[in-house]
Structure 1
Amino acid sequence: MRKRGVKSVLDVATGTGFHSVRLLEAGFDAVSADGSADMLSKAFKNGMENGSHILRVVQADWRWLNRDVHGEYDAIVCLGNSFTHLFSERDRRKALAEFYAMLKHDGVLILDQRNYDAMLDRGFSSKHTYYYCGEDVAVEPEYLDEGLCRMRYNFSDNSVYHLNMFPLRKDYTRRLMSEVGFQHIETYGDFQHTYRDEQPDFFVHVAEKEYRMDEEGEGAYSAAVSTARTYYNSADADEFYASVWGGEDIHIGLYESSEEPIADASRRTVQRMAEKLDLDESSVVLDLGAGYGGSARYVAETYGCNVIALNLSEVENERNRELNAQRGLTGKIEVLDGSFESIPCSEDSVDVVWSQDAFLHSGNRTRVLEEITRVLKPGGQLIFTDPMAADGTSTAVLKPILERIHLDTMGSPAFYRRELARLGFSAASSGGFEEHREQLVNHYGRVLKETERQEAEGKDGLAGKVSSEYLTNMKKGLGHWVNGGNERQLTWGIFHFRL
């Protein structure tokens, strides 16, 4: 909060006043709100007894916060797993909307929650690293399902207390925040930005009210790109793609046999694409949707060219940078956080634009192609792959797939050919499009099989790393891709055009 210049803070879940007192001691101008008059009385007393702090207390219901609490604040904090006391989605949305309204235009909401994902999927455990009730209290869930978490507190004097809470899943909470207006949301696991290797006790969401503008005055991320960014930043997605896809190349592969490892087939796609280009040490390649950077490392190591790896997931980008450093390629590959709908490169600055299975995540693919045209040098090459609707396929037929990836439409070969011709591109090889529809079926079928194999290993395998909800949805989605390919509703292949 200090880094953000926060001065005024509204503590909306004051309870007995611990956080309010700490905020005052840290020099913030804090107001303490709670729905319980008894809690506020205890908070006021605790403030006096711990540093002679006079708390400004207000009794208020989150759903009508603006009615009872006045003014705007630089920050609102809702801590102590308090938000899980709301059992109605309507109440959760109303409360978040009230929080949003009471923040200044560049304000921030900080909200924490217990890691119910881990509890629901793997059972309860706690490291007691950051959140701890003390030696004389034992805490465990007495009952747990998707709609109720009843926590039992056993004290050393044999007294027992219970709390009923709604087990909020992390991504559900983030989605609600986004839908009420928060544009940029960061989620930390026990205060760490990345936490894929272990399960944190708590999640801390930091949601910004500020409307971010890019240099041209438009939103940095479209709704579709923001959805993709949230997805690929999730711990589940990060773990799944690293474990199942093979770690570096997270795109469709070119298979020579049905049992071939996914990583080998995926790398063959990279090799096939690179062979179509005239790359050398002077080439500058822009990789859009670079993921973990496998393609960027391949062309940098094989051809000596310089690569700009643009990607929307900060979590993937961090791993990309780590792998580049391990291979001594930090000086050859620049990893950038950003969207291909607003490429942070100057005009006529790159020789090749490269992308693999990323453009489908855009809600404005025409703009993506226009941005590519802007940054490519005259005579520069565009090479990309994308899972697409087959020409002539209706959107209604693709509804199961579109709903899974939160999109309204998909591209098609005809769409890309038409738009690229309009922008001045001409086919560079294979008539501009080398179709491999059967490889889409091969790939998603192979990924589904590998997912089921690793999941069958139990808690020592994929099921111990990725939530059951994520795996269930992933397997369902993979089945839709396979069916769509078999029904010739979907296709995939390599586009190669020259400007």
Structure 2
Amino acid sequence: MSPHDQDHYGGLKATDELARQAKIGSGTRVADFCAGLGGTVRYLAYKYGANVTGIEFTPVRVAGAQDLTKLVGLQDVARIVEGNVMDVPLADASVDAVVSQESFCHVPDVKKAVMEAKRILRTGGRLAFTDWVANEPLSAADAQLMWDGMAIQPLRSIPDYRRLVEGAGLEVLSVTDLTDEWGPILKDRLAMYQRLREEARQAGTPLGHDAFHESYIRFVELVQQRKLGGIRIVAAK
């Protein structure tokens, strides 16, 4: 699968690490929360032989993900369905693993999403996800900028995130601070995005969402300063 199909930080390497931590292999039943256009869903099905269902809230993304999956012939083992991760349309104890990548920061009630992960996991199944964290409290202006540009909900610290997962009834197996790892990745991504904006400007085509651009610049600055960062949490039911 093309690395361009992986929009999360760290690309295929990051997805492989989640797969390893979640013990995903041939025949593993997996749910991907906030699946977007389904890049992770397709990759886990293609590389690991997993049976994957992606849950995505936005109808247009669901339609695009389904079209892409059909184009590569994976529709029997890689499905993307419309749904809310706070009320997942899957049965109790129906999956072996739940994964998510940099998406819970957009979810209004992360604890509900984690509790839904617990509900659909079989006993012994694993939740493995990455997300944003606030290593320091954001100023009111920065918090508003993150909301206006990228719909980022209020963020929590690493210890608070661990307590949230434990409070949902899961056993935390590992907590990894990804802030230093994300720093250069995000700096490179911002440079790429700004090159694309300049190419669009020179071509006389739309530049994209200005509020996103402004918030992303500030986000990268805050990660470089370690005020914001990333986390990978692995937990078991």
TM-score with structure 2 setting the length: 0.89
Distance 2:152 2:48 in 1: 36
Higher RCO (C-alpha 8 Å, min separation 6): 2
Q: Which runs of 4+ in 1 moved over 6 A?
A: none
**3-state DSSP of counterpart to 2:125:** strand
2:224 paired with 1:498: no
Distance apart, 1:427 and its partner CA: 2.9
In structure 2, do the counterparts of structure 1 residues 316 and 460 end up closer, same or farther at CA, with 3 Å as the change threshold? farther
> Larger % of helix: which?
2
Among 443, 468, 476, which residue is 2:207 paired with? Answer: 468
2:35 corresponds in structure 1 to 290
2:175 corresponds in structure 1 to 433
Distance apart, 1:485 and its partner CA: 1.0
Among 249, 264, 269, which residue is 2:6 paired with? Answer: 249
* Contact residue 105 and residue 153 of structure 2 kept, 8 A: no
2:189 paired with 1:447: yes
Among 382, 390, 412, which residue is 2:127 paired with? Answer: 382
Among 396, 411, 433, which residue is 2:140 paired with? Answer: 396
Among 389, 398, 421, which residue is 2:166 paired with? Answer: 421
* Contact residue 247 and residue 292 of structure 1 kept, 8 A: no
Q: Aligned Cα RMSD in Å? A: 2.1
**3-state DSSP of counterpart to 1:456:** helix
In structure 2, do the counterparts of structure 1 residues 481 and 439 end up closer, same or farther at CA, with 3 Å as the change threshold? farther
Q: What does 1:129-278 correspond to in 2, within 5 Å? A: 247-253=4-10, 266-278=11-23
In structure 2, do the counterparts of structure 1 residues 459 and 407 end up closer, same or farther at CA, with 3 Å as the change threshold? closer
2:217 corresponds in structure 1 to 479
* Contact residue 284 and residue 305 of structure 1 kept, 8 A: yes
Among 72, 75, 84, which residue is 1:339 paired with? Answer: 84
Distance 1:448 1:356 in 2: 18
* Contact residue 360 and residue 411 of structure 1 kept, 8 A: no
Q: Alpha-carbon deviations, 1:300-328, whole Å to 9, x = none?
A: 11221100011112222222112211221
Q: What does 1:13-162 correspond to in 2, within 5 Å? A: none
Q: Alpha-carbon deviations, 1:20-56, whole Å to 9, x = none?
A: xxxxxxxxxxxxxxxxxxxxxxxxxxxxxxxxxxxxx
1:365 corresponds in structure 2 to 110
In structure 2, do the counterparts of structure 1 residues 378 and 397 end up closer, same or farther at CA, with 3 Å as the change threshold? farther
* Paired residue total: 234
**3-state DSSP of counterpart to 1:347:** coil
Distance apart, 1:457 and its partner CA: 2.2
In structure 2, do the counterparts of structure 1 residues 403 and 455 end up closer, same or farther at CA, with 3 Å as the change threshold? closer
Distance 2:64 2:202 in 1: 23
Distance 1:280 1:440 in 2: 27
Q: Which amino acid aligns with 2:207?
A: S
Distance apart, 1:460 and its partner CA: 7.3
Q: Alpha-carbon deviations, 1:434-478, whole Å to 9, x = none?
A: 2110233323322221122122224676x62xx3361x3232111
In structure 2, do the counterparts of structure 1 residues 290 and 408 end up closer, same or farther at CA, with 3 Å as the change threshold? closer
Identity over the aligned pairs, expressed in percent? 22
In structure 2, do the counterparts of structure 1 residues 408 and 457 end up closer, same or farther at CA, with 3 Å as the change threshold? closer
In structure 2, do the counterparts of structure 1 residues 328 and 283 end up closer, same or farther at CA, with 3 Å as the change threshold? same
Distance 1:433 1:248 in 2: 26
Gaps of at least 5 residues in structure 2 are: none
In structure 2, do the counterparts of structure 1 residues 474 and 408 end up closer, same or farther at CA, with 3 Å as the change threshold? closer
2:61 corresponds in structure 1 to 316
Distance 1:436 1:490 in 2: 10
* Contact residue 389 and residue 412 of structure 1 kept, 8 A: yes
TM-score with structure 1 setting the length: 0.44
Q: Which has the larger radius of gyration?
A: 1
In structure 2, do the counterparts of structure 1 residues 316 and 469 end up closer, same or farther at CA, with 3 Å as the change threshold? closer
* Contact residue 444 and residue 478 of structure 1 kept, 8 A: no
Q: Alpha-carbon deviations, 1:381-410, whole Å to 9, x = none?
A: 0000111211x5256374232443345511
* Contact residue 32 and residue 99 of structure 2 kept, 8 A: yes
Gaps of at least 5 residues in structure 1 are: 1-245, 254-265
Q: Alpha-carbon deviations, 1:320-375, whole Å to 9, x = none?
A: 11221122111001210111111111111111001001101111111111111111
